[in-house]
Chains A and B, each alone.
Chain A
Amino acid sequence: MEFRIDRSSGLPAYLQLVRQVREALRLGWLAPGDRLPTVRDVVATSGVNANTVLKAYRELELSGLVEARQGSGTFIKARLGSTDPEVMAALRTRLAEWVREAREAGLDIEDIDALVRSVLSEGEGVAVA
Chain B
Amino acid sequence: MTTVVEPVDRTAIAVRAQALGKRYRSKWALRECTFDLPAGKVAALVGANGAGKTTLMTVLAGLLDADEGSAGATGRVAFVSQEKPVYRNFSAGDMLRLGARLNVVWDDSRARRWLARFEIPLDKACGRLSGGQQAQVAFALAIGSRPDVLMLDEPLANLDPLARREVTAELLSEVGETGMTVLLSTHVVAELAGVADYLLLLAHGRLLAGGDLDELLGRHVSYTGPRSDVPPALGDIVEARHTDNQSTFVVKLPEGQPRPVVAGPWTERLLTLEDYVLAQLEATRKGARA
Contact yes or no, A39 B194, CB < 8 A: no
Check if B271 is an interface residue, CB within 8 A of chain A.
Answer: yes
Which residues of chain A are within 8 angstroms of B195 by Cβ–Cβ distance? 47-49
Min Cβ gap A65→B in Å is 19
Contact yes or no, A50 B4, CB < 8 A: no
A8-45 contact mask (Cβ, 8 Å, vs B): 1 or 0? 11111110100000000000000000000011100111
Check if B279 is an interface residue, CB within 8 A of chain A.
Answer: no
Interface size grouping (class) on chain A = 35 or more
Which residues of chain A are within 8 angstroms of B213 by Cβ–Cβ distance? 12
Query: Contacts A40-B3, A52-B197, A124-B261 known; A10 to B272 CB distance under 8 Å?
Result: yes
- Give the complex CA separation of A46 and B269 in angstroms: 25
Chain A residue at minimal CB-CB distance from B176: A50
Contact yes or no, B193 A125, CB < 8 A: no
Contact yes or no, A48 B172, CB < 8 A: yes
Min Cβ gap A112→B in Å is 16
Contact yes or no, B263 A122, CB < 8 A: yes
- Give the complex CA separation of A12 and B213 in angstroms: 9
Check if A7 is an interface residue, CB within 8 A of chain B.
Answer: yes
Query: Contacts A12-B217, A40-B5, A126-B259 known; A47 to B176 CB distance under 8 Å?
Result: no
Contact yes or no, B168 A51, CB < 8 A: no
Contact yes or no, A125 B260, CB < 8 A: yes
Which residues of chain A are within 8 angstroms of B191 by Cβ–Cβ distance? 7
Query: Contacts A7-B193, A43-B176, A122-B263 known; A51 to B2 CB distance under 8 Å?
Result: no
Contact surface of A with B, Cβ cutoff 8 Å:
5, 7-14, 16, 38-40, 43-52, 54-55, 70-73, 118, 121-126
With A43-B176, A49-B42, A126-B270 already in contact, 6 other A-B pairs whose C-beta atoms are closer than 8 Å: A47-B172, A48-B194, A48-B195, A73-B2, A122-B263, A126-B268
Contact surface of B with A, Cβ cutoff 8 Å:
2-5, 7, 40-42, 165, 168-169, 172-173, 175-177, 190-197, 213-214, 217-218, 258-261, 263, 268-272, 275
